[in-house]
């Protein structure tokens, strides 16, 4: 038996803390196998659909490389390549894909889409980011924390910026589940919705949501930020820049932790070091040079966002292998 077999990965709260931790440990194991060049074809003969209604670098590559390493095949179905979203309903699409593929990844907008895909396809569906949640990101983030600190429980993580987006929602829930003290530091209008806070309360009473930067980052072991305008919100740059400039992850914010060992994480993509016309327009129009994270912090030795990005692959591989692979996982491990 395998406790994850056949299960979808739609949001953090569908899993127990022990199950979530077990997936992180499985990812660490798979990373070790890959580093030692040991074959791990747990998914030979499986076919995976990758549905992307939004763009992606890390998530798409993680599913593709991870599936290849596991011996499975993937097919990329971009927003403009398939009938869904134009001439075919979600339910019909789900039924058809479920009859051909063994598993489906979905990245896009409403959480209800990924939930319906799972309901009507009858195969495991993995959430590669929706407007509400980014659960595969969480496995990579807490795996990176486990690697850097040697443990997860008891770590204090302060997230600065748009605390009403998918990444902030997921950090609050996954962190609270795993015994991490989560501080969301954001202006009032960009703090999480009450429905999200309610879920977090089921796991923890030690999280903090504040607009006070000094109080929010004091003692933090991890400072974390994300882009100020998420995919699909690009018309909000002006508003966001105005609201979020005081919450930039810069050297002053790092100093305010009063913790000499603070590390920095960013899920990426980061809005920095950009020569694209979109970026030039935004920087010029609003007369600023840096956004959610300064180059100084991004390039500092205490910033570990590329280790974090690399761990996306190992963790996504763990999710696929656990739900579809020929693996023996009789019970969940408890976190020490
Ligand atoms: N962090 C993350 O999900 O990156 P992509 O958008 O590149 O997949
Ligand atoms: N909050 C960002 C995360 C990107 C990985 C977005 O949704 O665009």
Q: What is the pLDDT of residue 317?
A: 98
Domain topology for 12-133+312-324: Rossmann fold (3.40.50)
**Beta carbons of 39 and 200 less than 8 angstroms apart:** no
Q: Which atom of ligand 1 is nearest to the CA of 60?
A: 8
56 annotated to a ligand binding site: yes
Give the span between the Cα atoms of 109 and 90, in whole angstroms: 13
Whether 12-133+312-324 and 156-220+222-258+263-301 share one fold: the answer is yes
* Residue 227 CB less than 6 A away from ligand 2: yes
Domain ranges in the chain are 12-133+312-324, 156-220+222-258+263-301
Q: Whose CA is nearest to atom 2 of ligand 2?
A: 230
Give which of 336, 243, 320 is closest to 26, Cα–Cα: 320
Give which of 17, 68, 325, 7 is closest to 173, Cα–Cα: 17
φ, ψ for residue 223, nearest 5 deg: -110, 135
Give which of 53, 104, 58, 109 is closest to 82, Cα–Cα: 53
Ligand closest to CA 63: 1
Interval between CA 331 and ligand 1 midpoint (Å):
30
Interval between CA 137 and ligand 1 midpoint (Å):
8
Secondary structure in 3-state letters for 230-269: CCCCHHHHHHHHHHHHHHCECHHHHHCCCCCCCEEEECCC
**5 preceded by cis ω (within 30°)?**
no
Q: Tell which one of 268, 271, 313 to mutate to probe ligand 1, the residue whose CB is within 8 A of the most ligand atoms.
A: 268
Interval between CA 59 and ligand 1 midpoint (Å):
5
ipTM: 0.99
| Tens digit of pLDDT at every position of the chain (336 positions) | 799 999 999 999 999 999 999 999 999 999 999 999 999 999 999 999 999 999 999 999 999 999 999 999 999 999 999 999 899 999 999 999 999 999 999 999 999 999 999 999 999 999 999 999 999 999 999 999 999 999 999 999 999 999 999 999 999 999 999 999 999 999 999 999 999 999 999 999 999 999 999 999 999 999 999 999 999 999 999 999 999 999 999 999 999 999 999 999 999 999 999 999 989 999 999 999 999 999 999 999 999 999 999 999 999 999 999 999 999 999 999 999
137 annotated to a ligand binding site: yes
**CA torsion sign, 293 to 133 to 315 to 223?**
positive
Rg value, the chain, Cα:
20
Interval between CA 55 and ligand 1 midpoint (Å):
8
The domain defined by 156-220+222-258+263-301 carries CATH number 3.40.50.1370? yes
Q: What is the pLDDT of residue 1?
A: 77
């Amino acid at each position: 038996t395998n406790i994850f077999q056949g299960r979808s990965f739609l949001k953090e709260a569908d899993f127990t803390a022990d199950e979530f931790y077990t997936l992180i440990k499985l990812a660490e194991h798979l990373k070790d196998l890959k580093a030692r060049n040991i074959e791990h074809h747990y998914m030979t003969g499986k076919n995976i659909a990758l549905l992307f209604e939004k763009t992606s670098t890390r998530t798409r590559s993680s599913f593709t490389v991870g599936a290849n390493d596991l011996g499975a095949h993937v097919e990329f179905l971009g927003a403009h390549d398939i009938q869904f979203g134009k001439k075919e309903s979600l339910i019909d699409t789900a039924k058809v894909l479920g009859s051909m593929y063994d598993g489906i990844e979905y990245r896009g907008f409403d959480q209800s889409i990924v939930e319906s895909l799972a309901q009507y396809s009858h195969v495991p569906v993995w959430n590669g980011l929706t407007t509400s949640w980014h659960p595969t990101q969480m496995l990579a983030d807490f795996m990176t924390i486990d690697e850097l600190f040697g443990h997860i429980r008891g770590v204090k993580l302060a997230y600065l910026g748009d605390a009403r987006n998918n990444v902030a929602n997921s950090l609050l829930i996954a962190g609270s589940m795993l015994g991490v003290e989560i501080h969301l530091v954001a202006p009032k209008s960009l703090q999480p919705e009450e429905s999200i806070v309610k879920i977090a309360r089921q796991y923890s009473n030690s999280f903090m949501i504040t607009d006070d930067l000094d109080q929010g980052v004091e003692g933090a072991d991890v400072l974390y930020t994300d882009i100020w305008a998420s995919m699909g919100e690009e018309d909000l740059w002006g508003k966001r820049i105005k609201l979020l400039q005081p919450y930039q992850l810069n050297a002053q914010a790092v100093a305010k932790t009063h913790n000499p060992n603070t590390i920095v994480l960013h899920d990426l993509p980061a809005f920095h070091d950009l020569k694209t016309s979109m970026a030039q327009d935004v920087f010029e129009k609003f007369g600023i040079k840096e956004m959610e994270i300064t180059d100084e912090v991004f390039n500092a030795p205490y910033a570990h966002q590329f280790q974090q990005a690399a761990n996306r692959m190992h963790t996504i591989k763990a999710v696929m292998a656990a739900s579809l692979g020929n693996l023996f996982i009789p019970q969940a491990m408890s976190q020490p």
